[in-house]
A and B are shown apart, each in its own frame.
Chain A
């Protein structure tokens, strides 16, 4: 079983729709992250959370919101999807507090907005 699970794996939707991407983890990590990946741009951080009561914006948070429902769950929402949000989205977790431990990624959600 995957330690970091993302659902759905693929989603096609229309402009203006509200979309939620979900991430759950069984690693017991406190830190969770949402990234988007676009060709040639690497991984860009959208939001991150260091515990249930901590939510922080990343470098490209506009148009996105998140919810940390529990230590193990971190969801990403697009309130009104637009075509330039078409991308591959990754959730990641990290367990090192006060330092920079390795990040563990889910399999990704491929999102297409028409």
Chain B
């Protein structure tokens, strides 16, 4: 069945280092969404990418959607302790109006 795989599962960085998480789908996606879940919190929508090769930035966060629309990445430049949390990608499942989520990447930042 359709799968969305995310790597790495965990990433520990020193504050100020960069961080990247990767998302790969077994099928072509019409769009991809990214969410952040702070420890003890709920997932919060960050962004949606729709176009092949699209790149969007939110301050220190850069989101990319692959040319084939089967992969995506989230890059954080110069991490801060406020970036701690789990980052999820999610793509539409069989075009049925529901999402399939990746397993998430848990980011910890050491001050």
Name A residues whose Cβ lies closer than 8 Å to a Cβ of B: 31, 33, 35, 40-45, 48, 50, 56, 58-59, 90, 92, 94, 100, 102-108
Residue pair A105, B102 in contact (C-beta under 8 Å):
no
Leading 5 A-B pairs by shortest Cβ distance: A102-B45, A105-B42, A42-B103, A43-B101, A42-B101
Select which of B6, B45, B102 is within 8 A of A103 by beta carbon.
B45
Of B43, B48, B93, the contact of A43 (CB 8 Å cutoff): B43
Q: Which residues of B pack against A, CB within 8 Å?
A: 6, 9, 30-31, 33, 35, 41-45, 48, 88, 90, 92-93, 96-104
Point out the residue from A35, A56, A102, A108 that lies within 8 Å of B33, measured CB to CB: A102
Tally A-B pairs: CB < 8 A.
Answer: 55
Q: Are A33 and B42 in contact (CB under 8 A)?
A: no
Are the CB atoms of A40 and B103 closer together than 8 Å? yes
Q: Per a CB cutoff under 8 Å, which of B30, B44, B100 touches A105?
A: B44
Smallest Cβ-Cβ distance to B86: which chain A residue: A42
Nearest-neighbor residue (CB-CB) of B1 within chain A: A59
Residue of A nearest to B89 (CB): A42
Judging by beta carbons under 8 Å apart, are A106 and B42 in contact?
yes
